[in-house]
């Protein structure tokens, strides 16, 4: 294959770059090793920052969040819930920190107003009774999957080719330039090359590994952040703890649930990113100081993502700037290789613009960036990721034979048909994982226990699955959900686990069933782990 720009990484930044460049008339190919948003872009709390969180330590990041948040609310409104936000302080929080907050926000142009404590508790009854200060800010919530899928769809509409399940194997480099990228389709095993004039590394936490393939150095630190999802929605606005950044100081409402996080734990490897029971305990303990009912509510999932932080000194963890890092790699002797990493979901569009400016300049393309003024079109590709949409659509126009596949989130066969059609338009076979990424299937209280089999059966009936593919995909789907449920298992949840295990293993026997072409059966529900449920 040949193209002008090869983009490596299909998260929010990668898809944003693809859209930006394609609107400038530049031919692009984007490759992603797994599916859209399979990295940090799909493992965050979905907070669209007002910038207030960064006013104490990172003025530049605060102002970028302020301006970018305003742009996204206007131009990508279909991906947003403009909830507003509160910063709250409890008795034990530092009075000096509280006293400086409003003034710093005003200095940086970030709207912030004092809220009467009684009024705040009327708006959000979940708040602790021992509040001593509350401020209102312009936080919002974004659906990261819909955002990236809409960016990808608009990029494709303007000529970009997106290749999912395509792994970068290495580069061919000669005389200060990359000549080609060697890639492999991980589903078929087919290897091929992609030749480009410019190569953009937008792989987030994996940016240093991709840079190393090109012969460039990029020192990075991996900071794992874990979050918990409640079974029901606790709050209507984003609630932030007014203190220096720490564990469990943000509660984000998202559709029918709330998300509490996050932690910051340095890790050495990206091989197995998952939350631990110790992190879960810390999040619940700290979060309950601000929101008491977090100590007793039911959680349906824990998950973790990795912040890609570029080392610039001796800092670590929360002390490293959350700003983005753009590298032209000229100092590495490379003329056509660019890395963009770091940053936040809120600033993905700005990151994409700056990266595209550099790539377009190298290609002698002087067309301006349009993403700051042109509305992001809503696509059919991400329509079923919206938490409240499926129940409304199904209830408003139930059709005979339109059976529900996922009862928790009310996703029906008709909706799955839309997703399968979209995937096939991209030339990709539909899998349980990819249908799940584009819908709410598996995201409710049962965490895929029942809907995974219903979805597999339906895909068989539609001819999308063949032979032994189904059981293997069910195993992968449920194990991925279990990875996020295992750290939560204690007390009454043990009974639910027994029921889940009895259904999956006792009834269907999928812990021993031959999954097909794979090499032997794979364990389910973490049974290969010594600390798994017994």
pLDDT at 243 over 90: yes
Pair (215, 301) in one structural domain: no
pLDDT at 513 over 80: no
- C-alpha dihedral (94, 99, 102, 105), degrees to nearest 10: -70
Would you say residue 375 lies in a domain? no
pTM metric for this prediction: 0.92
Local structure of 131: helix, strand or coil = strand
The domain of 133 spans: 77-140+221-310
pLDDT at 428 over 90: no
Q: Note the pLDDT of residue 516.
A: 44
pLDDT band at 240; cut points 50, 70, 90: very high
Pair (200, 235) in one structural domain: no
User: Which whole number is the average pLDDT over 471-481?
Assistant: 89
pLDDT band at 22; cut points 50, 70, 90: very high
Q: Note the pLDDT of residue 533.
A: 37
Pair (405, 465) in one structural domain: yes
Pair (424, 393) in one structural domain: yes
pLDDT band at 534; cut points 50, 70, 90: very low
CA 171 to chain centre: 28
User: Which whole number is the average pLDDT over 467-487?
Assistant: 88
Pair (283, 157) in one structural domain: no
User: Which whole number is the average pLDDT over 436-459?
Assistant: 92
Would you say residue 47 lies in a domain? no
DSSP assignments along 187-228, one per residue: TT--EEEEB-SEEEE--GGGHHHHHHHTT----EEEEEEEEE
Would you say residue 169 lies in a domain? yes
List of long-range contacts for 112-117, beta carbons under 8 Å, 24+ apart: 112/52, 112/87, 112/136, 112/137, 115/86
Query: Which CATH number does the domain housing residue 274 bear?
Result: 3.30.9.10
Pair (358, 459) in one structural domain: no
Pair (432, 483) in one structural domain: yes
Pair (110, 172) in one structural domain: no
Pair (424, 476) in one structural domain: yes
pLDDT band at 529; cut points 50, 70, 90: very low
Pair (12, 152) in one structural domain: yes
State whether the Cα torsion 401-404-410-416 is positive or negative. negative
Query: Which CATH number does the domain housing residue 206 bear?
Result: 3.50.50.60
- Cβ atoms of 479 and 493 within 8 Å: the answer is no
Q: Note the pLDDT of residue 310.
A: 85
Would you say residue 20 lies in a domain? yes
Q: Say which residues have a Cβ less than 8 Å from residue 300's Cβ, sequence separation at least 6.
A: 229, 230, 231, 257, 444, 445, 447, 485, 488
Dump pLDDT digits (tens) for 3-16: 999 999 999 999 99
Q: How far apart are CA 83 and CA 238, in angstroms?
A: 7
pLDDT at 66 over 80: yes
Alpha-helix runs per DSSP H in 252-388: 277-290, 348-362
What residue has token string 């963009």? 340
Pair (401, 460) in one structural domain: yes
Would you say residue 522 lies in a domain? no
Q: Note the pLDDT of residue 522.
A: 44
Would you say residue 267 lies in a domain? yes
pLDDT at 316 over 80: no
Name the residue with higher pLDDT: 314 or 95: 95
Pair (170, 261) in one structural domain: no
State the chain's mean pLDDT as an integer: 90
Q: Could you check whether the bond before residue 262 is cis, i.e. omega within 30 degrees of 0?
A: yes
Would you say residue 284 lies in a domain? yes
CA 31 to chain centre: 17
Using alpha carbons, select from 248, 330, 337 the residue that is nearest to residue 292.
Answer: 248
Q: Note the pLDDT of residue 518.
A: 43
Q: Which H or E run contains 454?
A: helix 451-461
The conformation of residue 502, written as its DSSP 8-state character, comes to I
Would you say residue 86 lies in a domain? yes
The count of structural domains within the chain is 3
């Amino acid at each position: 294959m040949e193209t002008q720009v090869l983009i490596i990484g299909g998260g929010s930044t990668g898809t944003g770059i693809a859209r930006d460049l394609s609107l400038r008339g530049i031919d692009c190919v984007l490759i992603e090793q797994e599916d859209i948003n399979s990295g940090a872009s799909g493992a965050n709390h979905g907070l669209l920052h007002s910038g207030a969180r960064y006013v104490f330590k990172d003025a530049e990041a605060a102002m970028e969040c302020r301006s970018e948040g305003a742009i996204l609310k206007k131009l990508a409104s279909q991906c947003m819930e403009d909830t507003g936000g509160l910063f709250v302080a409890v008795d034990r929080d530092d009075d000096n920190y509280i006293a400086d907050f409003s003034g710093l926000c005003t200095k940086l142009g970030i709207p912030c107003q004092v809220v009467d404590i009684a009024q705040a508790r009327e708006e959000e009854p979940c708040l602790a009774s021992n509040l001593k200060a509350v401020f209102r800010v312009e936080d919002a919530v974004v659906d990261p999957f819909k955002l990236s899928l809409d960016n990808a769809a608009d990029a494709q509409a303007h000529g970009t080719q997106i290749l999912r399940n395509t792994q970068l194997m290495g580069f061919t480099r000669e005389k200060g330039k990359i000549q080609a990228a060697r890639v492999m389709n991980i589903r078929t095993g087919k290897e091929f090359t992609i030749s480009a004039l410019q190569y953009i590394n937008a792989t987030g936490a994996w940016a240093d590994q991709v840079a190393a393939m090109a012969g460039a150095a990029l020192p990075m630190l991996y900071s794992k952040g874990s979050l918990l999802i409640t079974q029901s929605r606790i709050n209507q606005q984003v609630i932030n703890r007014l203190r220096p950044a720490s564990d469990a100081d943000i509660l984000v409402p998202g559709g029918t649930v709330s998300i509490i996080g996050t932690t910051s734990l340095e890790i050495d490897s990206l091989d197995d990113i998952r939350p631990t029971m110790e992190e879960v305990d810390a999040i619940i303990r700290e979060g309950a100081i601000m929101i008491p009912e977090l100590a007793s509510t039911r959680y349906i999932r824990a998950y973790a993502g990795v912040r890609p932080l570029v080392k610039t000194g001796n800092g670590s963890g929360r002390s490293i700037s959350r700003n983005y890092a753009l590298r032209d790699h000229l100092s590495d002797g490379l003329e056509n290789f660019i890395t963009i990493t770091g940053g936040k979901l809120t600033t993905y569009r700005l990151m994409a613009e700056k990266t595209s400016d550099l790539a377009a300049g190298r290609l002698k393309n002087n067309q301006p960036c349009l993403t700051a003024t042109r509305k992001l079109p809503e696509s059919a590709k991400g329509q079923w990721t919206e938490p409240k949409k499926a129940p409304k659509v199904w209830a408003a126009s139930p059709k005979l034979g339109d059976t529900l596949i996922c009862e928790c989130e009310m996703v029906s066969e008709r909706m799955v048909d839309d997703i399968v059609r979209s995937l096939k338009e991209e030339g990709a076979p539909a899998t349980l994982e990819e249908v799940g990424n584009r819908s709410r299937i598996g995201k409710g209280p049962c965490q895929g226990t029942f809907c995974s089999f219903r979805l597999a059966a339906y895909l068989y009936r539609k001819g999308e699955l063949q032979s032994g593919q189904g059981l293997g995909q069910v195993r992968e789907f449920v194990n991925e959900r279990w990875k996020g449920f295992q750290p939560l298992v204690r007390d009454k949840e043990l009974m639910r686990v027994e029921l889940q295990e009895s259904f999956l293993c006792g009834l269907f026997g999928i812990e021993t069933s031959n999954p097909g072409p794979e090499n032997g059966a794979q364990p389910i529900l973490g049974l290969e782990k010594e600390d798994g449920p017994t």
